[in-house]
Structure 1
Amino acid sequence: MTPPDLSRRAMIAAAAAAAAFGAARSEAADAPGSVPQDRPTRIAMILYPGMTALDLVGPQALLAGLAPGSLYLVARSAGTVASDTGLSLVATHAFEACPPELDVLFVPGGDGTPDQMRDAALLAFLRAHAARAAWVTSVCTGSLILGAAGLLKGYRATSHWCVRDAVLPLLGAVPVAERVVFDRNRVTAAGISAGLDLALALAARLRGPDYARTAQLVAEYAPEPPFQAGTPAQAGPAITRAADAILAPLVAGATEAART
């Protein structure tokens, strides 16, 4: 089976799960963030130069079955957008072509975060669409971009550990050391790989736990990492210092952007 075949089968299975479990509403169906069950979910995912591809690709793969024909990859202009490792993704819509009514607004993080925290066009787009979106979400340092748009003031939120406690408060957010944080209709995830957890948790709110379980099984998401080094506490001082050195430019840039 080729990768495209696998991707198509995953989406078909997820869509079938949505139909099978469409009647099962989440416990929060009447709370802020509830979405009608009788139509595809409308999702806009932001692309920008220097984003981390996995921040977006993981959640996109798990949420795509909810949004046949209504998942929009949005950037300043349509076309290819290079990630922070050089891998290019394709924006399907420019800002002005994105539908105004959304169920999910999603922002990834990455090395390009500080520049996006200062991008007036992106911040204006986020403010306008967040006002109408059922869910406003981010992965990794994408929460700093939401914060720069003024969308996390007074909200509990998380981010990549390297910026969570130092930078989120500068943007009016209350930092929380958790993998995925829900606060009203704001949903933020910790660094990079936590996007998979966010997508499953959000899918459960949108279509019920059985849909999310089915999507998890289709993706065979059963992580067994070879090392327990995913947090500074697990990694220990020496490994954390090495990671700090790699992340220092991002931290410095994000801190400066948050203060200006």
Structure 2
Amino acid sequence: MTTAASSEDAVRRVVVVGYDGSELLDIACVTSTLDLAVRIAGRALYRTELISPSGGAIRCDSGLELHATGSLRRTNGPIDTLVISGGRGHEAAADDPAIVAHVRRLAGLSRRVASVCTGATVLAAAGLLDGRRATTHWHYADVLARRYPSVTVDPRPIFIRDGRVATSAGVTSALDLTLALVTEDCGPDLARVVAQALVTYLQRPGNQAQMSVFTAPNPDHVLVRRAVAHVNSHLATTLDTATLAARCGVSARQLHRLFVEHLGMPPGQFVRRTRLDTAARLLATTGHPIGMIARWCGFTSLETLRQAFVAQYGVPPSQYRTVSSTAPVA
């Protein structure tokens, strides 16, 4: 297999595959993130190309058109990263023998391969996900699993790395995947500045559940909002319901009622989930010792942290760090 050079000084060629019915954000989250990395670094780290089946313009879901820089048929290697976009046209693309054949061919000329959202359907049609664990937008996960039984579809994570193949969840999860690739290629310092420029997280852990993307609440109720802010900034302290209620000047019963009404869960459950999500993010994006992370997040011991991770993710913290870190894969 021919692959692109991987030295720090190499310009990495990233080829994004689009088609009629692609989601504009699926493409832009990748290309804009890489463009920001180039501008911030002040040197040509990436060269990004958008290609289409014919080489002509792509009509996106939104009706806007994007001009491609090349065609699937005429594109050759070496390629550093091949990215397949998703969108409402993904099924038609996966049913097109020419598109599938060229995606399979280009994957063989690429160092790594990735999909955004329903682009996983095209990778699956090309046989590139056979025997692999993969994700896609939660809404389409069941369809993907039924149509391609040789693929282990997991609808929970926002992205999954399985060897040199990565798949991501819906739309803006492409930001998380692309930031992970920038971290892998160029280190966490550049990725951090790029994330700041994008006004987004440095990187949500890949194993963070897709639906937990929505669990950083900003409730309407001022008292609940004050309690949430206190929890987020004081994870290492005592945060039982009685203590939170006293801080907010209400009874424990009233605080419980307000949390259920505005957040859909009692205070204790919210605290546990916030601690676990924060610990997961730190395990995936830092090298801090696990014991230190446990203390920072308010777990009383390593064993308490271990039990929480096994219950939520099915693996202990050390294994979670191994599968979720941004370190390069072999």
| TM-score normalised by length of structure 1 | 0.70
Which residue identity does 2:94 align to in structure 1?
Answer: M
- Match for residue 41 of structure 1? 12
1:95-174 pair list within 5 angstroms? 95-168=72-145, 170-171=147-148, 172-174=150-152
Please tell me whether residue 56 in structure 1 is matched to residue 35 in structure 2.
no
Unaligned segments of structure 2, at least 5 residues = 39-43, 203-209, 216-330
Kept in 2, the 8 Å contact 1:80–1:89? The answer is yes
Count of aligned pairs between the two proteins:
198
Unaligned segments of structure 1, at least 5 residues = 1-31, 224-229, 236-260
Q: CA deviation at 1:169?
A: 5.2
| Matching residue within 126, 150, 153 for 1:175 | 153
Kept in 1, the 8 Å contact 2:114–2:165? The answer is yes
Distance 1:132 1:37 in 2: 20
Distance 1:69 1:34 in 2: 12
- Match for residue 167 of structure 2? 188
Kept in 1, the 8 Å contact 2:133–2:162? The answer is yes
Q: Percent identity?
A: 31
Kept in 2, the 8 Å contact 1:157–1:188? The answer is yes
Kept in 2, the 8 Å contact 1:138–1:187? The answer is yes
234 and 95 in structure 1: CA distance in 2 versus 1, 3 angstrom threshold: closer
Kept in 2, the 8 Å contact 1:47–1:81? The answer is yes
166 and 34 in structure 1: CA distance in 2 versus 1, 3 angstrom threshold: farther
Q: CA deviation at 1:106?
A: 0.3
Secondary structure in 2 aligned to 1:79? coil
Please tell me whether residue 231 in structure 1 is matched to residue 202 in structure 2.
no
Distance 1:189 1:69 in 2: 20
Q: CA deviation at 1:217?
A: 1.4
169 and 157 in structure 1: CA distance in 2 versus 1, 3 angstrom threshold: farther
152 and 57 in structure 1: CA distance in 2 versus 1, 3 angstrom threshold: same
| TM-score normalised by length of structure 2 | 0.56
Structure 1 residue ranges, 4+ long, deviating more than 3 angstroms after superposition = 65-69, 230-235
Distance 1:170 1:69 in 2: 35
